[in-house]
Structure 1
Amino acid sequence: MHVGIIGVGLMGHGIARNVLSRGGFGLSFLDHPGNQPTDEIRGLGAQPCATPAEVAAASDVIILCVTGSPQVEAIVTGENGLVGALKPGAVVVDCSTALPDSTLRMAEAVQAAGGAYIDAPMTRTAKHAHEGTLNLLAGGDAAVLDKVRPVLASFTEKVDHVGALGHGHRLKLLHNYVSVGFMTLLAEAGAQAADAGVDPKVFVDVLAGGGGASVALDRLAPYITDGNRDGLPFAVANAQKDIDYYRAMSQEAGAQTTIADGVSAALAGPVSAGDGTAYVPELVRLFRRGGAS
């Protein structure tokens, strides 16, 4: 199988290098200004393409790793999009974080063009992408998923089939709501502790020894104690986007969003102030009185 990828960013670059180096697959990628430097993957044999249609024409499996639903929709059904050039039987694997309703519409368009669609968002970080140990939440037909498992195996540790098409993205939004919600709450508490002069190491130790022990604490602790944000290179603006996708999904279902609304409002402050590109651990600083360092 020849693989295509659209979105060679923090996550997609790791996926691309492992598709090539671990999987041994040929790879085409969309040449785009938002890509990470592509020297490594070009050196491994990756071929640049000018449009999504060119990627589709070359590929049996096409991986999408972009910001959200508007980008996915433009890639799939927009000008020079995938659906105009899909190979018969090609499979689109959407690893983005997207709205389930949009996912179903894009799948219908791909299926009408003779292809198949899997939503397979990721639940780990750029470090895991680089190492080839991502986890995927895959929704869609089991037979289609089995067809692309050799490709997915090149950059994952675990691929869970979580249900029907759209369930991967639904579960990713549920996951990110809980994960980002925990970290936002923790950042607010960390900011208050810092403003009160609490020793940051004592703060972390108290939480770790009690009910605050969590993956969220593990990810934010290096920033709380040492100012190291690099353990979680995930932008605040993207965190807000994911929370707002969760709210939209919940509102469509008639579900309660009281706490999600509060998390979104908390994240909106730094984004509105121009700090959307800060990493999530930096919320501990941004939530302090006056955003003090």
Structure 2
Amino acid sequence: MHVGIIGIGLMGHGIARSVLIRGGFAVSFLDHPGNQPVDEITGLGARPCTTPAEVAAASDVVILCVTGSPQVEAIVTGENGLTSGLRPGSVIVDCSTALPESTQRMGESVRAIGCDYLDAPMTRTARHAHEGKLNLLVGGEAVTLEKVRTVLASFTEDVAHVGPLSHGHRLKLLHNYVSVGFMSLLAEAAAQSADAGVDPQVFLDVLAGGGGASVALDRLAPYILKEDREGLPFFVANAQKDIDYYRTMSDAAGAQSTIADGVSKAIAGAVDAGHGQAYVPELVRLFRTKNR
């Protein structure tokens, strides 16, 4: 199969190189100013395209790895979008983090022209993408998943079929709410601890030995100790977007979002102050009242 990829960012670059190196598939990608440097993947044979329609026309499977629902909708159904160039029977695999209701609409548009759609958001980090060890939460028809499983296997360690179309994105928003919520809470506690002059190693040891032990603590620990932000290369602005998507999903379902509202407010303060491109571990510093 020929694979198209749209969104060669922190995660998409790793996906592209894994599809090329581990999977051995031919790759076309959308040439876009938001891409990471593409020298490595073009050196491996990836071919740039000027529009989503051109990517679609070259591909049996198109992987999307973009910021959110507005970008996905523009790529799928916009001018020169994927639906104007897809081959019959092609599959779109949306690895973005998007709103479930938007995903259902995009799926309907794609199925109407004889193609298929899966939502397959990722968990784990850019390092795992580079290593071909992402985990995917896949929503959609089981038969469609089997059709593209060899492609997905080239950049993943685990692929979980979690239900019908949109359930992947629903579960990703639940996951990111819990993950970002935990890290925001921990960052606020770490900031207060630092302001009070508590030894950071003692702070970490106390949490790790009690109720604070978690993956979130492990990812923030390098920053708390050494201001090493690479434990989680995830932009604060994207964290806010995901929390607000969760709140939108909750509002549509009539669900409670009191705690999510507080997390959004805390992160929005950092974004509004111009720190949207900081990584999430840097919230430890941004939440401090001293020595910011």
TM-score by length of 2: 0.99
Q: CA deviation at 1:125?
A: 0.3
What is the correspondence of 1:33-44 to structure 2 with a 5 Å cutoff? Answer: 33-44=33-44
For 2:39 and 2:260, how far apart are their aligned partners in 1?
Answer: 40
What is the correspondence of 1:237-256 to structure 2 with a 5 Å cutoff? Answer: 237-256=237-256
Decide whether the 8 Å contact of 1:86 with 1:114 is kept in 2. Answer: no
Structure 2: runs of 5+ lacking an equivalent: none
Q: Deviations over 1:88-140 (max 9, x none)?
A: 00000000000000000001111112210000000110000000000000000
The answer on 1:27 being equivalent to 2:24 is no
Aligned twin of 1:82: 82
Aligned twin of 1:212: 212
Q: CA deviation at 1:233?
A: 0.5
Q: Deviations over 1:149-190 (max 9, x none)?
A: 000000000000000100000000000000000000000000
Aligned twin of 1:266: 266
Q: CA deviation at 1:35?
A: 0.5
How many residue pairs match? The answer is 292
Aligned twin of 1:142: 142
Matched letter for residue 44 of structure 1: L
Structure 1: runs of 5+ lacking an equivalent: none
Aligned twin of 2:172: 172
Aligned twin of 2:101: 101
TM-score by length of 1: 0.99
Aligned twin of 2:188: 188
Q: CA deviation at 1:231?
A: 1.2
For 2:123 and 2:24, how far apart are their aligned partners in 1?
Answer: 24
SS of equivalent residue, structure 1 residue 274: helix
SS of equivalent residue, structure 2 residue 275: coil
For 1:124 and 1:24, how far apart are their aligned partners in 2?
Answer: 23
Aligned twin of 1:46: 46
Matched letter for residue 63 of structure 2: I
The answer on 1:232 being equivalent to 2:251 is no
For 2:12 and 2:94, how far apart are their aligned partners in 1?
Answer: 11
What is the correspondence of 1:105-116 to structure 2 with a 5 Å cutoff? Answer: 105-116=105-116
Aligned twin of 1:288: 288
Two-structure CA RMSD over aligned residues (Å) = 0.5
Q: Deviations over 1:237-270 (max 9, x none)?
A: 0000000000000000000000000000000001
Q: CA deviation at 1:9?
A: 0.3
Aligned twin of 2:122: 122
For 1:56 and 1:114, how far apart are their aligned partners in 2?
Answer: 14
